Amino acid sequence: MKGATETRNWLIDNQGLFFMAPAIILFVVFVLYPIFYIFNASLYDWDGINQAVYIGIQNYIEMFTDDRAFAVSIRNSIYWTFLTIFPQMILGFLLAYILTSGIPLQNLFRIIFFMPAIVSPVVLGIIWQRIYAPFGGLLADLAFETDLRFLQQPYLSDPKIAIFSTIFVNVWQWTGFSMLMYVAGLQGLPEEVLSAAEVDGAGARQRIRYIVVPMLKHVHLTLILLGVIGTLQTFALVFMLTKGGPNHATEMLPTYIFLQAFPLQSMGYASAVAVVLLVIALSASIFQVSVLGSRFTIGTK
């Protein structure tokens, strides 16, 4: 009976595990197991229906030596990382700074700038297709009516431009989120420090540069962390705007995984791409958390 008592005592001491159980079970089934699954599946040639054939690391060899679309999607991810995160942060900070300075209607402005962030990328993709459309599109008509000829561009059909047109929509969608994070950060700054600096004769520009920006370091780092993860997740917007085309010019790793797994029925290869995406995501996150000290500030600071 001693064993039973010990078990009982252990369970009482560890009753937290009962509280954790549902979360842990879901985590194991829908996160941990899938991770093992893609590592395993990436070693097979498999269409998802018939018997899979073990081919070792052949999928990886092909991916890194003979797959232009994969290379393009890596290049696009790098563009996307730098051309979304920093513009969103700079514009978001500027807006947040203005919208915490006590100008009229500032709450309304905050709602307006944040609004695109809550709208489905599926919806936004279709709207922006209409803005970019070469015939009858908003920008094309504007170019025609106003002589601002440079506005007429093959935004989504030119492989050289398409990725930047897509990135622009992302910046428009997420700048308001950066703004909101900076608003929260700015409201948390200690009033005394700022007014002390003002008394000491520091102008607005100096206060921003030497006090506000450094003190918001945790917000910058959180936004970079979320931006990298967001970049690596990008699917719906690209899928709706260009389906990764023309000729893979806007392919991202997620759209490429989908393309391989479903339209092309190549589950093994798709899993190998997914493994690469997973490794990039985890190493980028671990680097940021351990080296830069980023955290999910929403709550954990």
Partner 1 sequence: MKLGKSLAFAFVSVLALIWLVPIIMMLVVSFMPPDQRAPRFGGLLIKGVSLKNYATVFEDAEIVMHFINSMAVTIPSVVLVVVISSLAAFALARLQFFARDIWFYLLIMTLMLPIPTLVVPIFQINKALGLNDSYLGLILPYTALGVPFAIVVLRSFFAGFPIEIEEAARLDGCTRLGIYWRVMMPVSWPAVAVVIIWQFMTSWNEFILALVTMNSVDVKPLTLVPLVYSGQFMMRPGPMFAILTLITLPVIIVYYLMQRFMVSGLTAGAVRG
- Map the footprint of partner 1 across residues 135-154, applying CB under 8 A: 136-139, 141-142, 145
Among 69, 89, 163, 181, binds partner 1 (CB under 8 A): 181
84 binds partner 1 (CB under 8 A): no
Q: Segment 200-259, which members bind partner 1 (CB under 8 A)?
A: 204, 218-219, 229, 232-233, 235-236, 239-240, 253-254, 257-258
**Cβ-based nearer residue to partner 1, 99 or 160:** 99
- Structure token digits, residue 174: 């997420």
Is the CB of 29 or the CB of 57 nearer to partner 1? 29
User: Taking CB under 8 A as the rule, which mask of x and - marks residues 10-39 in contact with partner 1?
Assistant: ---xxxxx-xx-xxx-xx-xxxxxxx-xx-
What does the alpha-carbon distance between residue 195 and residue 199 come to, in Å, rounded to a whole number?
6
Distance CA(244)–CA(2), nearest Å, equals 64
Which segment (51-59, 66-74, 154-162, 180-188) binds partner 1 by CB under 8 A?
180-188
- 257: Cβ–Cβ under 8 A, 6 or more apart, which residues? 270, 273, 274, 277
| Closer to partner 1 by Cβ: residue 160 or 237 | 237
Rule CB under 8 A: say whether 299 interacts with partner 1.
yes
Residues 106-135 that bind partner 1 (CB under 8 A): 109-113, 115-116, 118-124, 126-128, 130-131, 133
Question: Does 53 contact partner 1 by CB under 8 A?
Answer: no
Q: Is residue 52 involved in binding partner 1 (CB under 8 A)?
A: no
